[in-house]
A and B are shown apart, each in its own frame.
Chain A
Amino acid sequence: MNDNALKGVMILPRKALQTLTEPMYYVLLALTKELYGTEIMNEVRRISAGRIKIGPGTLYTMLDKFYSAGIIKCTNKSLTTKSYIITEEGKRMLREEYARLSTLILDGDKIMEVLE
């Protein structure tokens, strides 16, 4: 590789939750309205037309992370089953991820047009 190509480029480790995985993205989409555990799983299935299935283990590991990072908040702590909703910080992340994915699509479109 040409050394000049690396000049001025600083490679930083990716921060946690900086780029959302596919299930994370869908869970945040689902949490734009207040939902509890099973409802979130069903909502993700609905939004993705059954393509994405999230099990309770995966979901609650994710919710723990989101909650600790302040991306979601709990709306009814007193009840046995808690429900959650996305926070302003979470919405910002979701928008950023949406923009990033859109850029990927646009960049891909340019190449795909040439291919086709």
Chain B
Amino acid sequence: MKTVLFWTSGILGGAIAGLAATVILVAFPLRPTMQKGPWSANARVGSAAADPYLRAAVAVIGLFALHSKESIYYQAATDESGRGLRAGCEYSIAGGPLPAQWWSLTVYGSDNFLIPNRARRYSLSNRTITYRPNGDFKAVMGPRSRASNWLPTGDEEQAVLLVLRMYRPESKYVRDLSAVSLPQIRRITCSEGGASAEQSQVAGR
């Protein structure tokens, strides 16, 4: 009886520790190979160069990702100040033309799925966004409806994630993901209070 207990406890303890280590190590956000402001990306996503941890993490949060020659996936979970993106807040997303055949900005809920909203709009892309005369764009992400360039975050308060997909990026950016001029994400206002100075600027556009 003692021997059975001895071996069973050793094997069971090891198995639990092994599984726990796997979950903990894979649950960490994708270890980026590039971080620029709030945006991060990993050049090895989807490729044979991915290590087992990255491969497992991609399977959990980005199954069927393409390798970076075909598509670069940038993600932002915070604004420029490092504050977590919230569905109840409004953010301006401002940038210039991005070097890809097409690109899109998509917002996801904390469960990594699209967020239900009355406008049934889940993304903005270079084909749907309205550019300013100088070629730049400014969009607003938040719960309140806007006439154009609006990325809705729905009615439910939750952490949100912004994903920028750049399909068929120019090759020099595949080699250096941080060379891309990425859109800036600035908080305009928050339902929890604390409107920023930028609110008046965006409201006038």
A and B found bound together = no
